[in-house]
Structure 1
């Protein structure tokens, strides 16, 4: 008799992501006598491709990992699978279906659904299916299907439920990456704890307050495996990594002392960072660690509305302490549409977070997740959200739909220009011209909309050109200095041998060769002489980068073609 064939499917938000959940399930059932295959796709893949590749595996059971970004795709794909072969059974799991299991199973074509943590439930289910395939009425320990805790299933058109299952010991979870051969260019997710100590009303993690930590020596051993595999980025999925001082310090200290190029991403609560933690973090090699901090809003009254006790001044103080270390990148989150927050309050939050100048700012929008405490307070706050994933807020009694649309435009500008870190000098130029950060990004977003740039693809060069149009059409100002500043940023992050037509190049090839020969013969050059590009500027560009001052002056700048961060003013060398 052929072994039971199961295909676990992850439809990820990006190609570079890996699905941790289905790997957990496969690892936890590795000792069972069945065939388990993992298939991963992206939400951008065609439905026809998904269907063809899954069916080609000839599965008897298909397991889908369901999230906010793939729920509708999973439902549609389930329908197609059943049309092609109604004998294939489908089981769902994941956060998007865990809090309305009966409803989701009833409205979908699937047959089974796992509620909450899946490892033990999935193992019980597979053991049952193996024995069922062998025509045995019950499985190894005499438990029937309807006695599997945490499992919903369909029978004769009715939905049945095995009852609530207790959380498992996190140390029983099997490390899922041992057999992975190729993790290059992938974002690998890792979990050192489960549960969350906080109860933020908009977050599903607030439902599970049972905080459990994995054995710390086991964590170190597993992280070492990932480093040895030369994983580029490991993202910890722990909701508040630093909530246990001793645990976080020991892990950070371990990672700091490794000889590795792997980077590690943590979600932390800045307000609970201790001086002891900061002292350890100060020793981290630059780029080894990166933090994500959920500020959400700087308005303490709004923080209270969502059941967050953090005071922004405390958060700001801790974030600035980490920033002062100059070795850890920080990603700060804001959420628009929070209960009680109006447009002006959000604008204030935006400006206060921007004043910190973190490496990245994420402007998100409140999502009313099913099963979250926030869902029960919608009427209180006049919240109207989309009934379709990702259930994003459309308006509240405090902020209108039109105001949220404005913030969408701001979000796009921040993500494209600020977070890319490729337009820093240009942004500095405009920040000096606006009364605050928010007004600049709002005006730029409105300009993008008026020009129709949101509705069509524009080239990478055009993203620079937009600033010349914006400056002359909106601010009615001369582009002389700005053009030079744009040229500097463009050369920092693009090919040096070519400039788009809207940027001026003031050196012909013959003159440039003479300059490069002269510079290359100089011993005072700090850049690899064989890998340099020299450009003439009509302003003292490095003075502007340093102080924001615009001074007309012919300057010759050497750019490294190997390292975007390396530039040198070679004007004196050329004039000798």
Structure 2
């Protein structure tokens, strides 16, 4: 008997934690369990071919809002090719209304909620069934299935919903990663706790009360195993990692002391960070820890509308303290479409967060998930949302569809130009010329839309070129300073030997000869791949003080090192 545990991830670099938990929890059972991972960008027919090539008896899908439509289409095709294959669903997208889901979907079983124990009992039943199917009557088959808590299944002309299962003991969960698994080019997800102490109305975690933690010594051992693999990022999926002070401090101390280049990512509530936790973070090697902070909105009234009883000032204070030593990356989230928040309020939220200059700003859009209390209150706020996954907000009493579309344009240019970090000096140049940061990104987003840049792929060079036209259109200028700033940002992150034709390159062989002699006299040793570029503004001062000073000089790009010469040219 063969079960194919199947994941349709949103990106190739992602790895599915849920199916690995199921395999690990049942590894001692006598059945053939195979994991296959694809992405929602893969061609449907190719994925079908790969699945059918495995010759499974059962295909199990891990279901989320980002893959459910793909999964349902794939299930239909599997049944058309071979109706004998049974299909099992699990995950947050099918757990809330499993009976209705099975009624309208090609498939046979749904595991509701936490899946390990339900899946284990289901596999034990299947092993017995495949071994003794001739002796088992319909009544005994039904009785066995009916006794598996947390299972919903198709039976004859109806759908049977079994008794729910209690939450399991966290320490019974098996370590999900196989010793021989290839982790290269993948984000590794890790879970040290389940549940969340907060009750945000838009989140499914609020429907499960309490938080359950793994033993901290076990977590350390498992992390020690993971850091021996060729990976760059371990992402903790705990909903609020820092909700237990002792647990947080113990693990952060351990992670900070590790001898590794791996980055560890945590979702936290910044407002509950304690002074000693912040002091501990300041000791972390640069790049070791990155924090994702769910701000959602800086409007305290809107925060109370979603049962987040926190003041933005508390978040702001803690974020600034963490930022002080520039060693911990911070990723701040905002959500558009929250109950009661209008366009003006969201604009203020954006500017408030932008003023903190986090490493990343994520603009998300409210999704009314099945089972969330926010969906139940939708009519109270005039919320209209898509009936199709991911159930994204379309409009509310406070914000229109058109305004949300505009914010999507803003989100795209913020992600490309701010979050990538490759255009930061260009962005700073423009933001200073608009009343607020939001005004700049709004105009840039509209510019991209009107010129068709949002509807097609553009080259990396074009992402720099657009600023020449943007400056002329919105500022009625064409400045040498902007050309030099674009040139610096371009050379910082791209090939040095070639410049696009819209950037000015100055060549003076005599000056370069003198510069090389000066470097030699100072005893500075350069690599073979260094690059010299002349600028007409003082790049060193731009980087240090964010000031533009017209002054000829040179920058030497030498790997990650840069040398500045603006005193004698």
Verify same fold: TM over 0.5.
Answer: yes
1:142 & 1:455 partners in 2: Cα distance? Answer: 53
Tell me how far 1:513 sits from its aligned partner. 6.4
Is 1:67 paired with 2:37?
Answer: no
Tell me how far 1:425 sits from its aligned partner. 0.7
Tell me how far 1:180 sits from its aligned partner. 3.9
Aligned to 2:21: 24
2:39 & 2:510 partners in 1: Cα distance? Answer: 50
Indicate which of 532, 554, 563 corresponds to 1:568.
563
Tell me how far 1:144 sits from its aligned partner. 1.3
Aligned to 2:218: 218
1:358 & 1:181 partners in 2: Cα distance? Answer: 35
Is 1:100 paired with 2:97?
Answer: yes
Aligned length: 566
Aligned to 2:542: 544
1:130 & 1:140 partners in 2: Cα distance? Answer: 14
Contact 1:230/1:261 (8 A) holds in 2: no
- 1:366-515 map, 5 Å: 366-507=366-507, 514=513
Alpha-carbon spacing, 1:16–1:558, altered in 2? closer, same or farther (3 Å): same
CA deviation vs aligned residue, 1:188-233 (integer Å, no higher than 9, x gap): 1000000110000000111112210001111100011001113211
Tell me how far 1:283 sits from its aligned partner. 1.1
Aligned to 2:202: 202
Tell me how far 1:520 sits from its aligned partner. 4.5
Is 1:51 paired with 2:48?
Answer: yes
2:429 & 2:350 partners in 1: Cα distance? Answer: 19
Alpha-carbon spacing, 1:150–1:422, altered in 2? closer, same or farther (3 Å): same
What SS does the corresponding residue of 1:380 show, helix, strand or coil?
helix
Alpha-carbon spacing, 1:469–1:480, altered in 2? closer, same or farther (3 Å): same
Tell me how far 1:326 sits from its aligned partner. 1.4
Aligned to 1:266: 266
Aligned to 2:310: 310
Q: What CA RMSD, in Å, does the superposition of the two structures yield over aligned residues?
A: 1.8
TM-score normalised by L of structure 2: 0.97
Alpha-carbon spacing, 1:124–1:444, altered in 2? closer, same or farther (3 Å): same
2:173 & 2:141 partners in 1: Cα distance? Answer: 21
Contact 2:121/2:148 (8 A) holds in 1: yes
Alpha-carbon spacing, 1:287–1:332, altered in 2? closer, same or farther (3 Å): same
Contact 2:539/2:564 (8 A) holds in 1: no
CA deviation vs aligned residue, 1:265-319 (integer Å, no higher than 9, x gap): 0000000000111121111111101000000000000000000011100000001
Structure 2 stretches of 5 or more lacking a match?
none
Contact 2:64/2:93 (8 A) holds in 1: yes
Tell me how far 1:548 sits from its aligned partner. 3.3
1:324 & 1:529 partners in 2: Cα distance? Answer: 33
Aligned to 2:289: 289
Tell me how far 1:418 sits from its aligned partner. 0.2
Aligned to 1:554: 552
Contact 1:65/1:92 (8 A) holds in 2: yes
1:104 & 1:179 partners in 2: Cα distance? Answer: 36
Alpha-carbon spacing, 1:552–1:112, altered in 2? closer, same or farther (3 Å): same
Tell me how far 1:369 sits from its aligned partner. 0.5
1:434 & 1:543 partners in 2: Cα distance? Answer: 22
Contact 1:512/1:534 (8 A) holds in 2: no
Tell me how far 1:519 sits from its aligned partner. 4.7
Aligned to 2:190: 190
Contact 1:519/1:570 (8 A) holds in 2: no
Aligned to 1:109: 106
Aligned to 2:532: 534
296-305 or 97-106, which deviates more: 97-106
1:55 & 1:316 partners in 2: Cα distance? Answer: 52
Tell me how far 1:140 sits from its aligned partner. 13
Contact 2:294/2:333 (8 A) holds in 1: yes
Contact 1:131/1:137 (8 A) holds in 2: no
1:478 & 1:466 partners in 2: Cα distance? Answer: 13
Tell me how far 1:455 sits from its aligned partner. 1.4
Contact 1:464/1:486 (8 A) holds in 2: yes
1:522 & 1:140 partners in 2: Cα distance? Answer: 90
Alpha-carbon spacing, 1:174–1:524, altered in 2? closer, same or farther (3 Å): same
Tell me how far 1:553 sits from its aligned partner. 1.6
Is 1:171 paired with 2:171?
Answer: yes
Alpha-carbon spacing, 1:485–1:134, altered in 2? closer, same or farther (3 Å): same
Contact 1:148/1:162 (8 A) holds in 2: yes
CA deviation vs aligned residue, 1:296-353 (integer Å, no higher than 9, x gap): 0000000000000111000000011110121100000000000000000000000000
1:530 & 1:522 partners in 2: Cα distance? Answer: 18
What SS does the corresponding residue of 2:209 show, helix, strand or coil?
coil
Is 1:300 paired with 2:311?
Answer: no
1:261 & 1:552 partners in 2: Cα distance? Answer: 40
Contact 2:538/2:551 (8 A) holds in 1: yes
1:126 & 1:516 partners in 2: Cα distance? Answer: 73
Alpha-carbon spacing, 1:495–1:140, altered in 2? closer, same or farther (3 Å): farther
205-214 or 109-118, which deviates more: 205-214
Indicate which of 4, 7, 15 corresponds to 1:7.
4
- 1:89-168 map, 5 Å: 89-135=86-132, 137=136, 144-168=144-168
Alpha-carbon spacing, 1:515–1:299, altered in 2? closer, same or farther (3 Å): same
Contact 1:337/1:393 (8 A) holds in 2: yes
What SS does the corresponding residue of 1:356 show, helix, strand or coil?
coil
TM-score normalised by L of structure 1: 0.96
What SS does the corresponding residue of 2:304 show, helix, strand or coil?
helix
1:52 & 1:511 partners in 2: Cα distance? Answer: 64
2:324 & 2:147 partners in 1: Cα distance? Answer: 56
Contact 1:472/1:479 (8 A) holds in 2: no
